[in-house]
Structure 1
Amino acid sequence: MRNIFLWLLLVSSAAFSQNYPVDHISPELLENADAVIRNYQRDVFIENIDEKKVIIRRVVTVLNQAGERYVQAYEVYDKSDDIEEQELFVYDSNGQEIEHIKQKDFRDESAYASFILYSDNRVSYFDYMPRRYPYTVEYISETVTPNTIFIQEWEPLEGYRVSTEKSTASIHYPEGISLRWKSRNLENYDIQVDSVGKELKFQAKNIASLQRETYTPSFSTFAPRISVSMNQFYLEGVEGEAQDWKQFGKWMYDNLVEGLDELPQSTVQKMTSLVADAKSEEEKIRRIYQFVQDNTRYIAVMYGIGGWKPFTAREVDDLGYGDCKALTNYTKALLKTQGIESYYTVIYGGNKRDIEPDFARMQGNHVILNVPRKDSADFWLECTSQKVPFDYMGDFTDDRFALLIKPEGGEIIKTKVYQPEDNLQAIDCKIQLAANGGFQANFTRTSRGVPYGEVFRMVDYTDNEVKEFYRDDWKKIQNIQFENYEFENDREQIVFTEKINFSGERLATSAGSRLLVPLNFIQQSSIASGSGKTRKLPMQISRGKSFQDHFEFTLPENFVVEALPESTEFEAEFGKFSISITADDNSVIEVERHLQINQGDWPASKYQEFRKFINKVNHLNNLKAVIVEKTKT
């Protein structure tokens, strides 16, 4: 029956190709689009708890080079999967077939780059090189896998600058198997959801493209999508059943984590000696974490129960390397030797993305370690880095929901949130101005919180890399010359300090006998406020941040202050700003500047108010003092 279904798809592709000329696309779908999904059809057949067949027919009109990313003529698979059919048709702008690529013509290679040590994952794909735009691709595939734990989300709007003419997905499942599904952001779209008997079906039509806008939250937070999961599932020889995170986490603990923490007795004794004179549990944890950093290195591994099961702690102890799963499990095992409890934690690393707290299914792309504490905030350990300080998350894993894998089951927890005052960059700078507009500066900057993560690796930069970094960061300063610099990386307090002595030309601009001195010195560039056009999407500032600057300008000999801007301050729901400008005996100008940007989410209707706030900040960031030679007044 399934083969007949596929045969009908193949026949229909030739019979109905005339339905896909480009001039049949409505103007609304072409506007601001790089590609149009003409027809996406995904049919999933759950034959049993350990057998899933997926048939895909995907028709995409590519309007320009940027639209190539939406062709997606590929399948990722491993040794448990079979690609039974794979075929590609290419049509010109009139809908006439110009190429037919058969399965034997698809390329097959490892799905990961050379830095992956072990991986079963492969990709079968065809990379079509177009002669001209627009053109249309019809991709057809049929795959079979025993791993029913994964059911791909249905996303009828696939990203920015792509429209959808039609998108459907169906899931067919037998008696004895039950499904859960969760819809998000379907309102305001032509989307139909039907659940009849043992079939679940979704359909969307005529969804126009969205344009990326400044300060937009993650696409998945506002785009329409539906998640589906089986209550009974299978992953590489292991059956499971779960309807919530407690049950799902229990299954993960029992099958992916438990029993992997055995260590050689020599290593246990080594840990006992390592922490013997530690004065607190925190100091013990710090020492063991440092031991892991000093004695292991990260190597990616996609192996073991679908890439989800880590190496044992003994293997990491012998080899000295592992991936995020293995190194986290190893650190957990080392802490356990000293009676310290910790939890293997599944999370999305990178751009902010939550493990969805209200829908249990296999999620995440990274693993870290949670160390609970009774009377204060938990410790979070990133076990893959030899450089990251103890309990530092930065913007890679902060402020998102994660899944603790406990012996009794799973628990959703929010990771550390850095407040605006935690994300602090502070500058203290003394500037000696020259009569020709040049300067000599003694510059100190400290970075804490997320900004720390943006700069602390500079301690490993070469001299050329350091100078290139500053020249790029301070583009508006001409002919920078560095006398000396030094960095201090305080891993205990998680503070990075830069100290630089340097000079440059034309900081102050000449206006006749006067010099105009920019009072913001280093941070002269504007904060992006985005377009003034009508906004469609919600607005988000994902992390708050604070800036505290002290600039002391010593005037050139024989110069005096002629005019200073007024000091001012203001506050809005988006943040607050203050600047104090004073002159001491007409020879020194002092500037104290404070800016705080608040984290938050706002509707599109608030955007113009936000722009006014940012534009006001930008205006005050570009204030100038006027100085003049005494003899020319």
Structure 2
Amino acid sequence: MKQKFLVIAMLICSCTNTTWSQTEIGSSRIISSQRKIIIQSQDKIIVHDKKRIAISDEDKKRFAGDRFTESKFAQLKKFEARLLSASGSKIKVLDKKDIEESTLSFYSIYNEHKTKYYSLLHPTLPYICEKYKKYELKSSFFLPNWDPQWGSIDVEYASLEIVLESPVKFKYVNIGAIDEPQIFQDKKGHTHYKWEVRDVLAYESEYHRTPEATFQIGVKLFAEEFTLEGYQGSSQSWQSFGDWYIDLVGTRSNFKVPPVEFAAFKKLPVEERVQNIYQLLQEKTRYVQIYLGIDGWQPHPVDEIHKNQYGDCKDLSMYMIAMLEQAGVQAYPGLAFPRNYGWVDEDYPGNQFNHCISVVPLPSDTLWLECTADVTAFNNPPAGLEGVNILLVKPGSSRLVRTPVSPAKDNKSVFTAHVSLTTARKAKMQGKVVFTGNRAVGARQGLWELDYTKQKKWFANRLAEKAGDVRIDDLAIKNLKTTNRPLEIEFTATLNYFAKKAGSRMIFKPRFFHNIYYDGEAPEKRKMALYNMTRFWDQDSVTFSLPFGYTNQRDIKSDSISSQFGKYFSRMKPEGNNLLWTSTFVSRAREIPLNEYADYHDFMTVVKKQAGTKFVIRKLKK
């Protein structure tokens, strides 16, 4: 499902006939940001946005620019901008020739959208940028959210004002430290809602913060009733929103001339039917965006998808549902918002989605089918669709359902290798790595479209990111496009400068494939919950053959730690003239609330330290 209407929520609009006040420039900051949304009807909303920005730093010049994506439902009416000196004299004024336009999209073949944008630049700092934008939305379905914390810059003052020239019902959700709006009527009897904030600090991200944490202060808006191309809808409840979507889809999810080939699957058990048809979908179709009509929400007729063998998420999901129906299996669309984008708030029904999947309820289980990704296995959606609220769209009983979260043991990366160390500090190795679950999805995404040379480069980066020069001598990949089986990679490689020399000793890190990263803030500085994309299980078993004349300086050494968040274990064990190093890191922690962060930080700090252990071998005296 198209995502650019979510971008509208971040776009800017302004009030006309405004006098710009003069000020000393001072530090870079947004001096004032004012948005006015005039709701004239369900099908006509005018948005004005005005900003006055002090720009004193080179890296803040980007704030003297803007962009807007036009579509059938969003039209830009005006761009205005100028740069002023501290005294108020004009430095530069936006000209029509400064405004550029683009319709390019990697996945699109038909596109009614075009993005207009500009950057108003001047070499000499400081200056004031004053910019204004006006645009029209042709459905209250796309009411924009208001996020005054606009990037990495402080905000002195910001306001949102909604003017109801028509009694359109809407809901609002205050986010963060923001007061309830002032509500008043003007002389014409129009109701106004006005929010104001002052002295908003620049947004500062944190290590692995939850996606929704980027929206720290502002207002989310939902139209309780809306019209989209004549389709009347309601967000009074998830049931009513689902009913609207069913009406929008209509008969487009039904074959006019049912293909005969899918009926043959009826002789198989139900789950096998679903799996076989899902495999056909992956083999024969491809993901393509077609931005025509109500392109972000309404699917194209399944007969077209069957003929063309391409479509976007809603097209391919509806096609999957239609094929399953011919095979005697009932399935439904599931509207989703992947976890890496944010979170669907169950208390506020409405437009919170940007993706669609197919859902197959069974008596003892539910199958979740991601229909746009060739790299995902059957009933194993990518990590971004785990543990999320999905609107299961069913006639008479649409409701939010929570997708399952896979356990760590289902997402394994198991690395085994034999490494011969040389006196020239090289490591010559032969080994194998096996990926399952989300670990396999991630690896397949990286390798899927690459030729052999680029596949070797990809693996070299994974093999020894910081271990000196790497040469992949041979690479054999098994089950790359057989997604229902583990992905296996066999290799031979040479790592130059693998070890460091210090006199008669050589020092090396045994961990060179599954690197463990953690850069979380100290608990007293942390303000946000922490989010890891997936639970996982990484396992290593590496035999090191020592160079002739060298010996290990230590006996058996092991490290271990276990907690509610996971466990870590590693051991180096001498075996004749070899060293056997084994390691297991299990991460069970996906979302860590702020009140548990200190314990998680302590756990990961120990894991990171233990994972960085180096080993020393020394040359025997003659």
Structure 1 residue 590: Cα displacement: 1.7
The separation in 2 between residues aligned to 1:600 and 1:292, in whole angstroms, is 31
From 68, 71, 77, give the equivalent of 1:78. 71
Structure 1 window deviating more from structure 2 (426-435 vs 60-69): it is: 60-69
Q: What are the equivalent positions in structure 2 for 1:353-502 lying under 5 Å apart?
A: 353-376=342-365, 378-457=366-445, 458=447, 460-473=449-462, 474-489=464-479, 491=482, 493-502=484-493
State the partner residue of 2:136. 144
Provide the rounded CA distance (Å) in 2 between the counterparts of 1:439 and 1:56.
60
**Counterpart in the other structure of 2:18:** 12
The alpha carbon displacement at 1:369 in A equals 1.4
Relative distance call for 1:10 and 1:178 in structure 2 (3 A) is: closer
- 2:588 is matched with which residue? 598
Decide whether aligned partners of structure 1 residues 398 and 112 sit closer, same or farther in structure 2, where only a CA change above 3 A counts.
Answer: farther
C-alpha distance after superposition, 1:91-139 (max 9, x if no partner): 234543323336x556363555364222332334333233233333222
SS in structure 2 of the partner of residue 22 of structure 1:
coil
1:294 CA displacement = 2.5
1:196-237 per-position Cα deviation (integer Å, ceiling 9, x unaligned): 463222111111113222222225466012112222212123
Contact 1:452 1:495 in 2 (8 A): yes
> In the alignment, does 2:233 pair up with 1:245?
no
User: What is the CA-CA distance between 1:247 and the residue it aligns to?
Assistant: 0.7
Q: Normalized against structure 2, the TM-score is what? A: 0.88
Paired residue secondary structure (2:383): helix
State the Cα distance separating 1:558 from its structure 2 match: 4.5
Counterpart-to-counterpart distance in 1, 2:597 and 2:266: 57
CA displacement at 1:42 relative to structure 2: 1.5
In the TM superposition, what is the alpha-carbon distance from 1:446 to its structure 2 partner? Answer: 1.5
Question: Counterpart of 1:437 in 2: which secondary structure?
Answer: coil
The residue number in structure 1 matching 2:531 is 541
Counterpart for residue 11 of structure 2: none
Return the alpha-carbon distance in structure 2 between the equivalents of residues 143 and 481 of structure 1. Answer: 55
Partners in 2 of 1:467 and 1:556 — Cα distance?
27
Say whether the 8 Å CA contact 1:80–1:236 is kept in structure 2.
no
- Identify unmatched segments of 5+ residues in structure 2: 1-13, 186-190
Contact in 1 for aligned 2:57/2:126 (Cα 8 Å): yes
Structure 1's 402 and 158: CA in aligned 2 closer, same or farther, altered over 3 A? farther
Q: 1:387 Cα deviation (Å)?
A: 4.0
Change in 2 beyond 3 A, CA 1:526/1:417: closer
3-state DSSP of counterpart to 1:293: helix
Task: Give me the whole-angstrom Cα distance separating, in 2, the residues matched to 1:237 and 1:72.
Answer: 35
Q: Kindly indicate whether the alpha-carbon contact (under 8 Å) linking 1:515 and 1:627 is maintained by their aligned counterparts in 2.
A: yes
- 1:214-253 equivalences under 5 Å are 214-220=207-213, 223-253=216-246
Question: Do the aligned partners of residues 508 and 80 (structure 1) sit closer, same or farther apart at CA in structure 2, a change above 3 Å counting?
Answer: closer
Name the amino acid aligned to 1:591: W
| Identity score, percent | 20
Query: 1:316-331 to 2 correspondence within 5 Å?
Result: 316-331=305-320
Q: CA offsets per residue over residues 344-396 of structure 1, 9 Å max, x none? A: 122234724223222122232222212222212x2222222344332232234
Matched to 2:580, the amino acid is: E
Q: For structure 1, which segment, 388-397 or 334-343, has the greater mean C-alpha deviation from structure 2 after superposition?
A: 388-397
Superposed, which structure 2 residues align to 1:118-157 within 5 Å? 118-157=110-149
Structure-2 residue corresponding to 1:98: 91
1:589 alignment partner AA: L
SS at match of 2:439: helix
- Where do 1:272-311 residues align within 5 Å? 272-273=263-264, 275=265, 277-278=267-268, 280-305=269-294, 307-311=296-300
Structure 1 counterpart of 2:219, which letter? I
Name the counterpart of 2:3. none
**Does structure 2 conserve the Cα–Cα contact (< 8 Å) formed by 1:393 and 1:416?**
no
1:259 aligns with 251
Unaligned runs of 5+ in 1: 1-7, 24-29
Give the Cα separation in 2 of the matches to 1:117 and 1:565.
61
Q: Distance in 1 between matches of 2:118 and 2:620?
A: 74
Give the 3-state SS of the residue equivalent to 1:206 in structure 2. Answer: strand
Whole-angstrom distance in 1 between the partners of 2:397 and 2:123: 55
Contact 1:456 1:489 in 2 (8 A): no
Amino acid at match of 2:297: W
Displacement of 1:153: 0.7
Amino acid paired to 2:22: Q
Greater mean alpha carbon deviation, residues 338-347 or residues 132-141: 132-141
